[in-house]
Amino acid sequence: MTRKTEIMRPIIGLALIASVLQAFAGPVSPERLLNAEADNANWLSHGRSYREQRYSPLDQINSANAEQLGLAWYFETDTHLGLETTPLVIDGVLYFTGAWSTAYAVDARTGALLWKYDPEVPREKSITACCGVVNRGLAAWEDKLYLGTVDGRLIAIDQESGKPVWSTRTTDPTKAYSITGAPRVAKGLVFIGNGGSEFGTRGYVSAYDANTGEMRWRWHTIPGNPAEGFENEAMEKAAATWNGEWWQYGGGGTVWDAIVYDPELDQLYLGVGNGAPHNRRIRSPGGGDNLYLSSVVALDPDTGDYLWHYQEVPADNWDYTASQQITLADITWQGEARKVIVHAPKAGFVYLIDRHDGTLLSAEPFTTVTWASHYDMSTGRPVEVEGQDYDGEPAMVYPSAIGGHNWQPMAYNPESKMLYIPELDMGMLFDEIKAPDYKHLKRHFNTGYKLSQDALPQPVTQGILKHFPKSHLLAWDVEKAEIAWKLPHPYIHNGGVLATGGNLVFQGTSDGRFLAVSADKGEILWSFDAQNSILPGPVTYTVDGEQYVAVGVGRGGALTMNTGKSYPTENPNNRIMAFKLQGSATLPPAPEPERPLPPPRTQASEAEIEEGRKLFDRFCARCHGATAVGDGSIPDMRYLAPIWHENFEAVVLNGLMEQAGMPRFDDVLNAKQVANIHAYVIERAHEDHALRQQTGWWAELKAKATDLTTRVMAWFIRLTTS
């Protein structure tokens, strides 16, 4: 080596560091987003980079020192209605969202609040948020952040001040649309979809100018009424795969979570949702694949023109959305280098899809799957199992409508080619409502099967001991298309995943533990008691050279609201918690739950209470929980204070508490029916109270089981208390 190069070396080094620092500071420029994977200090977009792998190379916290992790700080939001957010981390600031589509900015080192932006969503909107008034996060572009609101607005916020810059309506307010997903940004455009298929909507994605909010294009995922003409050729082609008058029911296909830009191939991928109603015989009598339901669709990001699609579940019948996280990877598949989409949606298979043209390379089950035996690789189509379509006969189907994996983010390590999936191994009984009895209700679930606590696996008839609902953290070897290891969790519906270069995988659990797990072996190395369930995906970042891991804590969303609480103390407000090595902050003790005594039993007959139970299952359980066991995010019907019993009818029928988010039900219920629901709720309160009066280990176990539910537990309780 010459003397000159020896002198040059540190100078070049310094210049490199300076240019890297420059690239990684200030507004979130297009270049910064394209290079997000190398920007270890930050978490610039929903899935960390455009490839949405949720992998960070940071290794200061690693499998050798993870047991020294501790709480660095926590930030308490002012609601308890569910936290599904993935925070963005931009130059020392965390930007995240909470219930009612509220956005927050906090100091990444201390958790101190910098600003809060509340878009003031009208509270009556809660009725058409299928799965809670939750929000999964923000997108950043230059000096702005983008927020989708549960009432269907897309809002640009100034990053520094938290003040709105522009706002636009992306949905028709007279229809049951909602937004829970994070917007995505690329090429100066903000992409946003919506939810609402359970109520009967037609899905679409829109692109808006990031600076002005002007709409550039909109692409519907399914055809509308052919008599009104088709928006494009893709819709005309799709219409040939539908029958009947599907547009009367909306048809579905909402893009409520995954939208991913592929900078290498300059394509935009949509995860398209389920059919509306779920029951295909009502939705499209006469059959058909019902394109583009349950498909991954590729569009031209500039124009919204259709490029290709792959339909994972033709003629969806089970709420099998393809909306779940889309991850981009470069792998070797059967000896060839391939650019693939790695997808593990509700239907229970890991799909490898070629990003060039949508060719299916592999589809292998990662959980119990009974609806299809396998995929025919010559056609790319699933082979459905007879009887699983619940045509005439009820059928226990795996996965359930919640899916083998839902919105909880997974993580993919591009070095080891390992995918970490928060899995749910659970089935559900589909019991069809036949076409003449089916009534479409505007503000309520329209599934085409019975919504009942009896939809749960029944121990005797369904071999429950073999098929007790379970949940695992799965390590899936993508190139081998098989499970590498499985970490079982004690309860269902666990949180999203983060993978790091420190041989670690982070995941929160339903029973309130935040875990560091060794990535190679699946061993729990560290665990923290977070006092509440953890559902979203964690993120990691550095400030002043120190690595942090942050995660949202709090119940809410489809599954916890329906299955009840799995944490024994009262749920505190939703929080963001950040951890670091030697972190020494502590949480105040969680309060004990208050359990007011139930009022005297009513005069209602057994038949009336049973009628109340059915109505509760149909209209109330999706938020207040099966068997009226609440998850703590909204009032638990077993522990209502006297004032709510006195005003029960006014609350349920007349919207007395509408401004707090409790919808009115006078469109579907009358006073007599509400009285029956009330009688059922009081009965459940007495059952619960009696259970808690008993002593001994058996009684204790049962009392515990009433909170630590899963609906199977609910069934068990009903059996053992009746």
Ligand X SMILES: O=C(O)c1cc(C(=O)O)c2c(n1)C(=O)C(=O)c1cc(C(=O)O)[nH]c1-2
CB 611 within 8 A of CB 677: no
Q: Is 309 annotated as a binding residue?
A: no
**58, 130, 428, 677: which one binds ligand X (CB under 6 A):** 130
Strands (E), 349-417: 349-354, 360-365, 372-376, 381-384, 395-397, 411-413
| Interface characters, 167-186, with ligand X (x: CB under 6 A) | -----------x-x------
Does residue 195 belong to the site contacting ligand X (CB under 6 A)? yes
**Tell me, what DSSP letter sits at residue 26?**
S
- Torsion angle, CA of 298/303/306/312, rounded to 10 degrees? 30
In whole angstroms, the minimum distance from the beta carbon of 252 to Ca ion comes to 8
Q: Is 131 annotated as a binding residue?
A: no
**28, 106, 131, 140: which one binds ligand X (CB under 6 A):** 131
Q: Is 620 annotated as a binding residue?
A: yes
Residues pairing with 206 in the sheet: 192, 218
Q: Is 437 annotated as a binding residue?
A: no
**Tell me, what DSSP letter sits at residue 71?**
E
The residue among 345, 348, 421 whose CA lies nearest residue 385 is 348
Q: Is 662 annotated as a binding residue?
A: yes
Q: Is 447 annotated as a binding residue?
A: no
Alpha carbon distances (Å) from 322 to 293, 318, 410, 573: 8, 12, 14, 31
Q: Is the dihedral of CA 345, 350, 354, 360 positive or negative?
A: negative
Does residue 274 belong to the site contacting Ca ion (CB under 5 A)? yes
The residue among 374, 428, 383 whose CA lies nearest residue 403 is 428
Residues 318 to 377: which contact ligand X by CB under 6 A? 319, 321
SS percent in the chain: helix, strand, coil, step 5: 20, 30, 50
Does residue 631 belong to the site contacting ligand X (CB under 6 A)? no
- Torsion angle, CA of 239/240/243/244, rounded to 10 degrees? 50
- 195 makes contact, choosing from ligand X, Ca ion, none, with CB < 5 to 8 Å by partner type, with ligand X
Contact window for ligand X (CB under 6 A) among 54-62, 190-198, 375-383, 451-459: 190-198
Q: Is 645 annotated as a binding residue?
A: no
Does residue 206 belong to the site contacting Ca ion (CB under 5 A)? no
Q: Is 171 annotated as a binding residue?
A: no
Does residue 84 belong to the site contacting ligand X (CB under 6 A)? yes
Number of residues that bind ligand X (CB under 6 A): 21
Neighbouring residues of 297: CB distance < 8 A, sequence distance ≥ 6: 221, 269, 270, 272, 306, 308, 309
The residue among 212, 153, 209 whose CA lies nearest residue 180 is 153
In whole angstroms, the minimum distance from the beta carbon of 388 to ligand X comes to 19
Cβ-proximal residue to Ca ion, closest one = 274
Residue placing its CB nearer to ligand X in the complex, 276 or 464? 276
Question: Is 529 assigned a catalytic role?
Answer: no
User: Using alpha carbons only, what angle is made at residue 406 by residues 197 and 42, rounded to the nearest 5 degrees?
Assistant: 110
Catalytic residue among 39, 262, 319, 688: 319
In whole angstroms, the minimum distance from the beta carbon of 701 to ligand X comes to 29
In whole angstroms, the minimum distance from the beta carbon of 197 to Ca ion comes to 5
Tokens of 476: 């899936």
Q: Terminus-to-terminus CA distance in the chain, angstroms?
A: 86
**Tell me, what DSSP letter sits at residue 597?**
P
Residues pairing with 1 in the sheet: none
**39, 52, 151, 198: which one binds ligand X (CB under 6 A):** 198
Q: Is 406 annotated as a binding residue?
A: yes
Contact window for ligand X (CB under 6 A) among 70-78, 129-137, 480-488, 683-691: 129-137
Contact window for ligand X (CB under 6 A) among 195-203, 417-425, 645-653, 655-663: 195-203
Residue placing its CB nearer to ligand X in the complex, 58 or 131? 131
Q: At 624, is the secondary structure helix, strand, or coil?
A: helix
Does residue 197 belong to the site contacting ligand X (CB under 6 A)? yes
The residue among 250, 138, 231 whose CA lies nearest residue 184 is 138
At 627, give phi and psi (nearest 5°): 55, 25
Residue placing its CB nearer to ligand X in the complex, 162 or 556? 556
Residues 558 to 597: which contact ligand X by CB under 6 A? 558
Tokens of 313: 């579940």
Does residue 256 belong to the site contacting ligand X (CB under 6 A)? yes
Does residue 362 belong to the site contacting Ca ion (CB under 5 A)? no
* Contacts of the segment 151-155: beta carbons below 8 A, 24+ positions apart: 151/101, 151/121, 151/122, 151/125, 151/178, 152/177, 152/178, 152/179, 152/194, 153/119, 153/179, 154/179, 154/183, 154/190, 154/192, 154/206, 154/208, 154/213, 155/119
- 407 makes contact, choosing from Ca ion, ligand X, none, with CB < 5 to 8 Å by partner type, with ligand X
**128, 274, 368, 518: which one binds ligand X (CB under 6 A):** 274
Contact window for ligand X (CB under 6 A) among 9-17, 335-343, 399-407, 714-722: 399-407
In whole angstroms, the minimum distance from the beta carbon of 36 to ligand X comes to 25
In whole angstroms, the minimum distance from the beta carbon of 98 to Ca ion comes to 22
Does residue 290 belong to the site contacting ligand X (CB under 6 A)? no
- Which residues of this chain interact with ligand X, rule CB under 6 A? 84, 130-131, 134, 178, 180, 195-198, 254, 256, 273-274, 319, 321, 402, 406-407, 557-558
- Binding site residue list for pyrroloquinoline quinone: 84, 136, 180, 254, 346, 406-407
Q: Which residues bind Ca ion (CB under 5 A)?
A: 274, 319
Binding-site positions for heme c: 620, 623-624, 662
Residues serving a catalytic function are: 319
